[in-house]
């Protein structure tokens, strides 16, 4: 009876986490409430995850990563890339992926990708290449490198903590490196060769507006009924009279189409997102072939001090706006910010349609604001100002101190002098006390949604183990692979974990699968350590979908990607992890 109830609860949890009908943090809280009300877990057992060393460590890493960025300790990366890459796209891509991988092995990879989105857009503008060739590879390189060290991803920290709790000891700082490094190297080599060929080549919506004489602006224009432009392909619609105006996107009934890739022609009432100089935009509006939408009437494009600019704001994972209704948010109440439109997972909402839209990670807001308001927006952690690429990073004089604190943490954890939780908590404390991270930013950098889903899935995992459901699942899994040996069953664990992590968060997948993997190893009479390591690599093999990992989702909007674009590179990388893990985990961690 209890096992049937737990199975139903598990299925419901998976559906809620995949569809996000309700926010994932509320799903996590709901799990704990149900388990307490039904008596399956005591109140203390249900909230035990709040005191888990994994949660404390992951939370501390959020603070440390933010401190490294705020001090400029990571901010020099863009300058290094521009200097080393020059005008050679292949070398530029190699430098970007190499630095992303090296950084992600030691810094939370979400923070690294947040940093590199504007860097990639800036480099793409300067080199004339498409950012869609780079953004998915950046996300994948950060994921690949995250499996090389214990602190590279929060999933490894969670699995290490669960391994210790089950009596099999924690993972060492570099214990995963003998397999993680070869997988990362092979994966990055594959990305360097395949990404330029299979990734779409889409226009960059935002370029840095540094050249004041050739400054270009974004605007939305409406195609009125009777316009001479109707019936033409969007990439050719302004070619004859206004060759300097570039069509970035065509929006029809909330759906976004990309010129050159989508077979579509301009029709009355379409919205076009265009980019051009002030003189071209003014001349286009004077022609009568287009109109400004109601929400944009009266704006100017001269760019002189005190006038308005059009910029894009990307919503990062740590934003307090995530989950909020746009028109109820603080951004909407800002008198200097006029929200024109929202791009929401390939759907486009103009101002009259924004009433019920809730913001999600990766959403992009098109806003109009005075140039004087940009400096104030740059200091907020709620969004990344996409137009404003090379913004000043505060507290640069603290960069050396931040690097020393971070290096001491890695050294203390790697040598075993301090437990990883103690080292991370101490480093976060020193970052704040030492002035590297203001206390206000420290609170805002804690990704409560991530921490809550870890706590909720911890409770669900405990209930599955307490009721015997995880043992039953393991026995069923064993029954399916009975004729096979431990090596093939281990490959099956990697496959099962990798499939699960495409639709769930990798943290939730690891917490749910690890007890099953340990029970499977125990049933076979072999050492569970190889199976624990298998879950580490399988849970991080989240390449095939944009919802598998938050960095994949973050590049979805800026790259203009389709779901299928993730499959082109993601499936081969998933296969690489499966083959390498199945072959070499039994060698490096014998049964």
- pLDDT tens-digit series, residues 347-389: 555 555 555 677 877 777 777 777 677 767 766 767 777 654 3
CATH number at residue 230: 3.30.70.1450
Q: Does residue 357 sit within a domain? A: no
Q: Shortest CA distance to 67 belongs to which of 428, 345, 370, 309?
A: 428
Distances (CA, A) of 105 to 158, 172, 200, 518: 16, 14, 28, 26
* DSSP state at residue 526: S
- Domain count along the chain: 2
Q: pLDDT tens digits, residue range 480-506?
A: 776 678 888 899 899 888 888 876 667
Question: Quick one: 161 and 259 in the same domain?
Answer: no
Sign of the alpha-carbon torsion through 519, 525, 527, 530:
negative
Vertex 447, ends 16 and 41: CA angle to 5°?
55
* DSSP state at residue 513: H
What per-residue string of b and e applies to 80-115 under the rule 16 or more CB within 10 Å gives b?
ebbeebeeebeebbbbbbbbbbbbbbbbbbbbbbbb
- Which residues have C-beta within 8 Å of that of residue 352, sequence separation ≥ 6? 295
- Which residues have C-beta within 8 Å of that of residue 1, sequence separation ≥ 6? none
Q: Does residue 470 sit within a domain? A: yes
pLDDT of amino acid 73:
66
- Which residues have C-beta within 8 Å of that of residue 404, sequence separation ≥ 6? none
- Whether the per-residue pLDDT at 476 is higher than 80: the answer is no
Q: pLDDT tens digits, residue range 65-107?
A: 778 767 766 555 555 666 666 667 788 888 889 888 988 888 7
CA gyration radius for the chain? 25
Distances (CA, A) of 154 to 281, 299, 316, 506, 581: 47, 45, 17, 9, 20
Report the C-alpha gap between 399 and 410 in whole angstroms.
Answer: 17
pLDDT of amino acid 211:
40
Sign of the alpha-carbon torsion through 66, 448, 154, 417:
positive
Question: Quick one: 243 and 200 in the same domain?
Answer: no
Q: In whole angstroms, what separates CA 71 from the centre of its chain?
A: 22
More confident residue, 463 or 444: 463
Q: pLDDT tens digits, residue range 263-304?
A: 889 999 898 888 776 567 767 877 778 887 754 555 544 444
Mean pLDDT of 235-249: 81
Instruction: Report the percent of the chain where pLDDT is more than 90.
Output: 16
Question: Quick one: 149 and 290 in the same domain?
Answer: no
- Whether the per-residue pLDDT at 196 is higher than 80: the answer is yes
Last residue of a domain, one of 302, 320, 351: 302
Question: Which residue in this structure is represented by tokens 């604001």?
Answer: 369
- Whether the per-residue pLDDT at 463 is higher than 90: the answer is no
Q: Does residue 313 sit within a domain? A: no
Residue 293's domain comprises: 216-302
Question: Quick one: 277 and 397 in the same domain?
Answer: no
pLDDT of amino acid 306:
47
Vertex 229, ends 130 and 260: CA angle to 5°?
25
Question: Quick one: 70 and 160 in the same domain?
Answer: yes
pLDDT of amino acid 474:
66
Question: Quick one: 150 and 183 in the same domain?
Answer: yes
Mean pLDDT of 232-241: 82
pLDDT of amino acid 347:
57
Ranking 32-46, 230-244, 573-587 by mean pLDDT, the lowest is 230-244
Ranking 8-17, 104-113, 243-252 by mean pLDDT, the lowest is 104-113
Helices 563-588 and 177-198: crossing angle, nearest 10°?
A: 160
Report the C-alpha gap between 425 and 446 in whole angstroms.
Answer: 13
Mean pLDDT of 332-342: 74
Give yes or no for a contact between 64 and 409, defined as CB atoms under 8 angstroms apart: yes
What's the per-residue H, E or C state across 305-352? Answer: CCCEEEEEEECCCCCCCCCCEHHHCHHHHCCCCEEEEEEECCEEEEHH
Distances (CA, A) of 408 to 401, 404, 405, 428, 590: 11, 6, 5, 12, 32
Q: pLDDT tens digits, residue range 525-552?
A: 899 999 999 999 999 898 987 766 777 8
- Whether the per-residue pLDDT at 346 is higher than 60: the answer is no
- Whether the per-residue pLDDT at 587 is higher than 90: the answer is yes
pLDDT of amino acid 127:
66
- Whether the per-residue pLDDT at 114 is higher than 70: the answer is no
Q: Does residue 427 sit within a domain? A: yes
pLDDT of amino acid 212:
39
Last residue of a domain, one of 302, 323, 358: 302
Question: Quick one: 435 and 532 in the same domain?
Answer: yes
Give yes or no for a contact between 156 and 149, defined as CB atoms under 8 angstroms apart: yes
Question: Which residue in this structure is represented by tokens 């790259």?
Answer: 559
More confident residue, 183 or 209: 183
* DSSP state at residue 358: B
pLDDT of amino acid 344:
64
Report the C-alpha gap between 561 and 568 in whole angstroms.
Answer: 12
Report residue 402's pLDDT band, with 50, 70 and 90 as the boundaries. Answer: confident
Question: Quick one: 132 and 260 in the same domain?
Answer: no
Q: Does residue 307 sit within a domain? A: no
pLDDT of amino acid 576:
95
Mean pLDDT of 204-211: 43
Q: Does residue 455 sit within a domain? A: yes
Q: Does residue 26 sit within a domain? A: no
- Whether the per-residue pLDDT at 571 is higher than 80: the answer is yes
Question: Quick one: 182 and 285 in the same domain?
Answer: no
Report the C-alpha gap between 84 and 325 in whole angstroms.
Answer: 43
Both tokens of 12, joined, read: 């419901």
Average pLDDT value for the chain: 79
Identify the bridge partners of residue 249 per DSSP, sorted by sequence position.
Answer: 273
Q: Does residue 314 sit within a domain? A: no
- Whether the per-residue pLDDT at 394 is higher than 50: the answer is no
* DSSP state at residue 291: B
Classify residue 462 as exposed, middle or buried by CB count within 10 Å of its CB (0-12, 13-18, 19+): buried
pLDDT of amino acid 379:
62
Question: Quick one: 222 and 80 in the same domain?
Answer: no
Question: Quick one: 226 and 244 in the same domain?
Answer: yes
Mean pLDDT of 554-581: 85
More confident residue, 139 or 357: 139
Report the C-alpha gap between 236 and 238 in whole angstroms.
Answer: 6
Last residue of a domain, one of 302, 336, 359: 302
Question: Quick one: 481 and 583 in the same domain?
Answer: yes
Distances (CA, A) of 500 to 5, 157, 179, 374, 513: 21, 19, 22, 42, 9
């Amino acid at each position: 009876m209890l096992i049937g109830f737990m199975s139903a609860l598990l299925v419901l949890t998976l559906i809620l986490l995949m569809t996000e009908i309700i926010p994932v943090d509320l799903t996590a809280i709901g799990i704990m409430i149900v388990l307490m009300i039904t008596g399956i877990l005591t109140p203390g057992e249900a909230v035990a995850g709040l005191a888990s060393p994994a949660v404390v460590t992951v939370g501390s890493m959020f603070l440390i990563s933010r401190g490294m960025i705020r001090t400029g300790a990571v901010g020099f990366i863009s300058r290094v890339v521009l200097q080393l890459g020059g005008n050679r796209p292949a070398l530029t891509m190699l430098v970007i992926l190499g630095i992303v991988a090296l950084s992600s092995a030691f810094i939370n990879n979400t923070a690294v990708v947040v940093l590199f989105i504007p860097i990639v857009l800036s480099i793409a503008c300067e080199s004339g290449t498409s950012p869609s060739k780079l953004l998915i590879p950046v996300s994948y390189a950060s994921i690949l490198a995250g499996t090389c060290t214990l602190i590279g991803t929060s999933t490894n920290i969670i699995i290490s903590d669960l391994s210790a709790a089950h009596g099999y000891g924690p993972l060492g700082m570099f214990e995963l490196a003998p397999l993680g490094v070869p997988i990362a190297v092979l994966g990055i080599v594959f990305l360097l060769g395949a990404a330029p060929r299979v990734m779409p080549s889409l226009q960059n919506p935002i370029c840095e507006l540094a050249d004041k004489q050739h400054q270009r602006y974004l605007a939305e224009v409406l195609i009125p009924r009777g316009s001479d432009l109707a019936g033409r392909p969007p990439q050719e619609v302004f070619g004859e009279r206004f060759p300097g105006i570039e069509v970035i996107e065509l929006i029809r009934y909330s759906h976004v189409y990309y010129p050159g890739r989508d077979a579509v022609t301009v029709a009355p009432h379409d919205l076009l997102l265009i980019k051009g100089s002030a003189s071209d935009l003014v001349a286009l509006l004077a022609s009568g072939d287009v109109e400004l939408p109601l929400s944009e009437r009266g704006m100017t494009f001269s760019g002189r001090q005190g006038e308005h600019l059009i910029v894009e704001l990307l919503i990062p994972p740590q934003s307090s706006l995530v989950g909020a209704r746009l028109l109820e948010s603080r951004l909407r109440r800002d008198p200097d910010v006029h929200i024109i439109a929202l791009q929401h997972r390939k759907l486009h909402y103009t101002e009259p349609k924004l009433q019920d839209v809730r913001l999600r990670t990766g959403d992009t807001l098109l806003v109009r604001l005075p140039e004087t308001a940009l400096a104030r927006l740059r200091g907020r952690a709620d969004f990344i100002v996409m137009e404003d690429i090379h913004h000043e990073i505060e507290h640069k004089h603290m960069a050396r101190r931040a690097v020393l604190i971070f290096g001491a943490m890695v050294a203390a954890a790697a040598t075993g002098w301090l437990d990883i939780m103690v080292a991370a908590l101490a480093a976060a404390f020193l970052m704040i006390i030492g002035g590297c991270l203001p206390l206000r930013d420290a609170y805002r950098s804690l990704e409560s949604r991530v921490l809550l889903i870890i706590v909720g899935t911890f409770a669900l995992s405990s209930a599955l183990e307490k009721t015997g459901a995880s043992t039953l699942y393991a026995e069923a899994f064993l029954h399916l692979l009975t004729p096979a040996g431990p090596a093939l069953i281990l490959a099956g664990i990697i496959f099962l974990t990798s499939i699960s992590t495409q639709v769930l968060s990798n943290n939730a997948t690891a917490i749910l699968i690890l007890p099953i993997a340990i029970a499977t190893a125990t049933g076979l009479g072999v050492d569970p350590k190889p199976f624990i390591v298998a879950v580490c690599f399988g849970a991080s093999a989240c390449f095939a979908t944009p919802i598998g990992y938050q960095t994949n989702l973050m590049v979805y909007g800026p790259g203009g990607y389709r779901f299928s674009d993730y499959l082109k590179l993601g499936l081969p990388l998933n296969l690489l992890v499966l083959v390498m893990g199945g072959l070499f985990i039994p060698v490096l961690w014998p049964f």
